[in-house]
Amino acid sequence: MSQMNMIQAIRSAHDIMLEKDPSVVAFGQDIGYFGGVFRCTDGLQQKYGEHRVIDAPIAEGGIVATAIGLGINGLRPVVEIQFADYIYPGFDQIVSELSRLRYRSAGDFFAPVTIRTPCGGGIRGGQTHSQSPEGIFTHLSGVKTVMVSNPYDAKGLLISAIESNDPVVFFEPKRIYNGPFDGDPDKPAVSWASHPKGEVPDDYYTVPLGKAEVVEEGEDLTIITYGTIVHVAQAAAKRAGVDAEIIDVRTLMPLDVDTIRDSVNKTGRAMVAHEATRFCGYGAELVATIQKECFWHLEAPISRITGWDTPYPHAFEWQYFPVQKRLADGIRKLMEVA
């Protein structure tokens, strides 16, 4: 067991899988010699060689496409797209090819590609380094979508993603690479050192795809969220003085409906929160799911707290981001409904 931040945990997952399975290759911009702009593959090219940890040209479409080719040829590529904001040139290959290969060929061909990509704001990244495009990917048929919230899950879920024969788009909120963020931008940054989820086994382990986690048990309401906002929600519930049950969805597609249903049926109140834009966002699917599964148990309308439907504004980052105060206010309001 070691204390790891999310970057170290992700690197450890790569290290273990590169060691364990000779078909695993890592592929992406700046990931080889340099070890990645966020250092997630630091030292791995030196350890496994240039044929296993490969620097790619700046061409996300080409990276995804050639990764598909590698996958068809029996390799297990782990692709890094440097920022989720730059994944769009690869989108056609993900939508039209990667996600549907197995289906269109009746199972004859598939490409077990994992696409990792740092997402989210809170790092002064403006509109080109802050996006959370997970809802675009959860809308596809045939690709699994993950967003992690802590080092332990990051390692375990990344290993599961790499071992999966289905393609996985794996979002890593970069705001919490180095430490959890409770949604109060005025407080000094903290590290993962004192967080229980920063304790990460050194060896192989997995966290299963398709399973949500109840990170806080509570009776008053349920907050369903993922990524950075898991930590914001925990702090906001404390701030509002409410006994909240908090669910980290973790795998957005396929969704663990059972965990959400059981919780909301118990508390009768539900808040859905994410950093991404609101309209047609992933939260809309969560709200519709809760409405269908839990309608007769609901004591209040389902609350939804998200980023605004604008591009991510550089100067107004903390007005855009669903900060702790915004969630706390939302929680209080939700509790006021008689």
Stretch of 29-37, 39-47, 160-168, 322-330 lying at the interface with another protein (CB under 8 A): 160-168
Q: Could you say which DSSP state residue 125 is in?
A: -
Contact flag: residue 288 with another protein (CB under 8 A): no
Contact flag: residue 310 with another protein (CB under 8 A): no
Contact flag: residue 72 with another protein (CB under 8 A): yes
CB nearer to another protein: pick between 255 and 323? 255
Out of 21, 33, 46, 69, which residue is the one contacting another protein (CB under 8 A)?
Answer: 69
Structure tokens, 176: 């919490």
Pick out residues in 45-64 that bind another protein (CB under 8 A): 51-52, 57, 59, 61-62
CB nearer to another protein: pick between 141 and 338? 141
Out of 102, 266, 278, 304, which residue is the one contacting another protein (CB under 8 A)?
Answer: 102
Contact 236, 324 (CB under 8 A): yes
Stretch of 35-43, 139-147, 298-306, 313-321 lying at the interface with another protein (CB under 8 A): 139-147
Out of 257, 298, 300, 335, which residue is the one contacting another protein (CB under 8 A)?
Answer: 257
Helices (H), 89-215: 91-92, 101-104, 134-138, 151-163
Out of 74, 186, 203, 296, which residue is the one contacting another protein (CB under 8 A)?
Answer: 74
CB nearer to another protein: pick between 56 and 200? 56
- DSSP letters, 315-328, are TTHHHHS--HHHHH
- β-bridge mates for residue 303, sequence order: 271
| Active site (annotated) includes residue 129 | yes
Amino acid at 110: F
Phi, psi angle pair for 119, to nearest 5°: -135, 175
CB nearer to another protein: pick between 98 and 331? 98
**Between the CA of residue 101 and those of 90, 105, 117, 143, 170, what are the distances in Å?**
15, 6, 22, 10, 19
DSSP SS3 for 225: strand
Whether the bond into 254 is cis, omega within 30 of 0? yes
CB nearer to another protein: pick between 13 and 94? 94
Contact 35, 41 (CB under 8 A): yes
Contact flag: residue 97 with another protein (CB under 8 A): yes
- Closest of 94, 224, 59, 225 to residue 169, by C-alpha: 94
Catalytic residue among 129, 195, 231, 274: 129
Residues that bind another protein (CB under 8 A): 25, 51-52, 57, 59, 61-62, 65-75, 89, 92-93, 96-97, 101-110, 141-142, 144, 164-166, 210, 254-255, 257
Active site residues: 129
